[in-house]
Structure 1
Amino acid sequence: MKIAVVGCTHAGTAAVKNMAELYPEAKITVYERNDNVSFLSCGIALYVGGVVKDANGLFYSSPSELQEMGVNMKMKHEVTNIDTEGKKIAVRNLETNEEFEDTFDKLVMTTGSWPIIPNLEGIDLNNVVLCKNYQHANHIIEKAKQAKKIAVIGAGYIGAELVEAFEVYGKEVTFIDSADRILNKYLDPEFTNLMETEFENRGVKLALNQAVTKFVGREGSVEKVVTTEGEYEADLVILC
């Protein structure tokens, strides 16, 4: 039996380990766009903040570990088309641009998620970055070394943790979200009120209940975030 696995972060890693143990006779092939598996994105802020010194601590598996279990690991390979009736997939090697087809008996889709990138004016300016994977984490760490004013957009868990990390490092931080309170999808007001007060006591500027409308820059780099309620200076903007 041939099993093709598309994507290999958390669900993919768990599925592959289980299948390799339960069906040792199966030929399992993983197609992953990145060069790593099992990255703990929830630990990005700990890495950015220096709590986690070794980035290897943010992985609980590796391509080599899965390979040792008999899994064929196709890293930096992107699946571009799936024919479910013909049980075929089209694949592109992202390093060589080679394209080829493979067949499968069973298909496991574990592609994960990706941040929503709004179509806003100035979104392509330098120092407007995403925060999702290992590459993003390294990118943010390098950018933050030179940044003085940082705007974090999106007041979910990753956003809140990044704000805390940047504040500890002495950065001037603005926390922006279209909702009227932080972590509104996860915690009740009695908890978020305490967190907001603590952020403000630490000098974090909360820009809540307002949506970002555009980014303004000079010479190709961001300088300001414009919202429905005001403007905020920033030389680094992180979309969470």
Structure 2
Amino acid sequence: MTTTERPATERLVIIGGDAAGMSAASQARRMKGPDELEIVAFERGHFSSFSACGIPYWVSGDVGERDELIARTPEEHRKRSIDLRMRTEVTEIDVAGRRVRSRDLETGEDAWTGWDKLVIATGARPVRPALPGIDAPGVHGVQTLDDGQALLDTLDRAAGRRAVVVGAGYIGVEMAEALLKHGYEVTVVNRGEQPMATLDPDMGRLVHEAMSGMGITTVSGTAVTAILTGDDGRARAVATDDAEYPADVVVLGLGVEPETTLARAAGLPLGRHGGLLTDLAMRVRGHDDIWAGGDCVEVLDLVSGRERHIALGTHANKHGQIIGANAGGGYGTFPGVVGTAVSKVCDLEIARTGLREKDAREVGLQYVTATIESTSRAGYFPGAAPMTVKMLAERRTGRLLGVQIVGREGAAKRVDIAAVALTAGLTVEQVTALDLGYAPPFSPVWDPVQVAARKATAAVRAGG
């Protein structure tokens, strides 16, 4: 084992070479030149700064080439005096000694590297339950570009055209669409009451109905018990307690959890979801020179007041910018989130922000709901597409608590109106008065979000 001594200049060490880590590295380099700050980053994979969110669209063919998902290559980072060490995995954080141990995955050589400032951006790991057959050939996750390529290779050579997706969250429904575009007969097996557990069940039912109309079979309320294999050892079916679903390829879409194995072993503070806990400056609580960001941290939910784990590239990049500014001698804070997310399956758009009914109950909020049906444009204008909007408001105060939208073209991004309103702490009555853009090609006279807000306002007045 070798040891790299700390230089006279400050050294910033970053664990993780994707969104949060390399955003932090880039921002810190903007703040200080290489004579003032040495930056060393470790990445165990083959790629840096890539869009994991884009993998389903690459698999589907909407994105033509893998490299289109790479924002910046290792060589581009190195040209900016960032020592990015690929295929190098950090195996230990020595907090007291202010050093990390790493292993070169090609040579097996271990080395210690000292740090003055440390950034932990280890991301999230896919949920992969210990089921029989889970590691069989033909079973795929979609977390990295390597995963995407392996799945494409399987799709090209599979003997049959039957696919089973396990899980019906964002990745599950997006991968169902991708497999459908490859000509597969697709079954989605989901243990939840409806697809998209980030929605209330009544809104999830709309997603279920739409997926059925697209030819996707969705089996809800059913847990997978095993991946069955054939004589060749490859996956041949997905088993539940009461059925088997034939599969020539199986895709896992069971969500992710924070990758905080190193942090836990180092004794760093973790929250109830297993993510690192930080202050507003993204500094790990209790540690002045250690920051963390991206999918490995928990963030404050501005609506509920509790910490949540939300794995999204939008947050990771913002975290990285703030961490890099602070580590580089500047200042920035990340106040929290309202839980905004959008997705699609074929032409169905799905969006949510704020709290679900379940979330409101868990934090002790009393609420009213309002659900309306509207269209994306004036009803008489060609191309007007239907959408359903559900809104939650706090009883008596009328404070907006959450919005969910399911519809066709023009539906999903309307959730941004609600996201801004939630961040500002508006009431539903105030939402009705927002001065939103209107013209028949873009919206009805009353935007669907405001129609829902009017109905929610009436419910608050009636039940407050």
Same fold (TM over 0.5): yes
The structure 2 residue matched to 1:230, chosen from 232, 243, 250, is: 243
Q: Secondary structure at the residue paired with 1:114?
A: strand
Q: CA deviation at 1:155?
A: 1.1
The structure 1 residue matched to 2:60, chosen from 49, 60, 73, is: 49
1:54-93 map, 5 Å: 54-93=65-104
Deviations 1:104-128 (A, max 9, x none): 1111000000112111111222111
Alignment-mate amino acid for residue 204 of structure 1: I
Q: Secondary structure at the residue paired with 2:193?
A: coil
Higher relative contact order (CA 8 A, sep 6+): 1
Q: CA deviation at 1:191?
A: 4.1
The structure 2 residue matched to 1:17, chosen from 6, 23, 26, is: 26
Q: Which residue of 1 aligns with 2:37?
A: 26
Q: In structure 1, how many angstroms separate the alpha carbons of the residues matched to 2:133 and 2:182?
A: 27
Q: Which residue of 1 aligns with 2:11?
A: 2
The size of the alignment, in residue pairs, is 239
Q: Which residue of 1 aligns with 2:186?
A: 173
Q: In structure 2, how many angstroms separate the alpha carbons of the residues matched to 1:129 and 1:215?
A: 12
Q: In structure 2, how many angstroms separate the alpha carbons of the residues matched to 1:124 and 1:59?
A: 27
The structure 2 residue matched to 1:141, chosen from 144, 152, 155, is: 152
Given the alignment of the two structures, is residue 123 of structure 1 paired with residue 134 of structure 2, yes or no?
Answer: yes
Q: Which residue of 2 aligns with 1:209?
A: 221
Q: CA deviation at 1:218?
A: 1.2
- Give the TM-score normalised by structure 2: 0.50
**RMSD, matched Cα:** 1.3
Given the alignment of the two structures, is residue 95 of structure 1 paired with residue 91 of structure 2, yes or no?
Answer: no
**Does the CA-based 8 Å contact 1:29-1:73 persist in structure 2?**
yes
**Does the CA-based 8 Å contact 1:44-1:158 persist in structure 2?**
no
Alignment-mate amino acid for residue 15 of structure 1: A
1:172-191 map, 5 Å: 172-185=185-198, 187-189=199-201, 191=203
Alignment-mate amino acid for residue 201 of structure 1: G
Q: Which residue of 1 aligns with 2:411?
A: none
Q: In structure 2, how many angstroms separate the alpha carbons of the residues matched to 1:124 and 1:35?
A: 21
Deviations 1:132-151 (A, max 9, x none): 11000001111112331111
Q: CA deviation at 1:61?
A: 1.6
Q: In structure 2, how many angstroms separate the alpha carbons of the residues matched to 1:170 and 1:91?
A: 43
**Does the CA-based 8 Å contact 2:17-2:84 persist in structure 1?**
no
Alignment-mate amino acid for residue 68 of structure 2: G
Q: In structure 2, how many angstroms separate the alpha carbons of the residues matched to 1:208 and 1:189?
A: 11
Q: Which residue of 2 aligns with 1:196?
A: 208
**Does the CA-based 8 Å contact 1:6-1:79 persist in structure 2?**
yes
**Percent of aligned positions that are identical:** 32
Q: CA deviation at 1:39?
A: 1.5
Q: Which residue of 2 aligns with 1:108?
A: 119
Q: In structure 1, how many angstroms separate the alpha carbons of the residues matched to 2:88 and 2:169?
A: 30
Q: In structure 1, how many angstroms separate the alpha carbons of the residues matched to 2:27 and 2:165?
A: 38
Q: Secondary structure at the residue paired with 2:22?
A: helix
**Gapped runs of 5+ residues in structure 1?**
none
Q: In structure 2, how many angstroms separate the alpha carbons of the residues matched to 1:128 and 1:32?
A: 25
**Does the CA-based 8 Å contact 2:137-2:234 persist in structure 1?**
yes
Deviations 1:141-173 (A, max 9, x none): 111123311111121111111101211222011
Q: In structure 2, how many angstroms separate the alpha carbons of the residues matched to 1:169 and 1:117?
A: 24
Q: In structure 1, how many angstroms separate the alpha carbons of the residues matched to 2:207 and 2:152?
A: 24
Alignment-mate amino acid for residue 46 of structure 1: Y
Alignment-mate amino acid for residue 17 of structure 1: S
Alignment-mate amino acid for residue 7 of structure 1: G
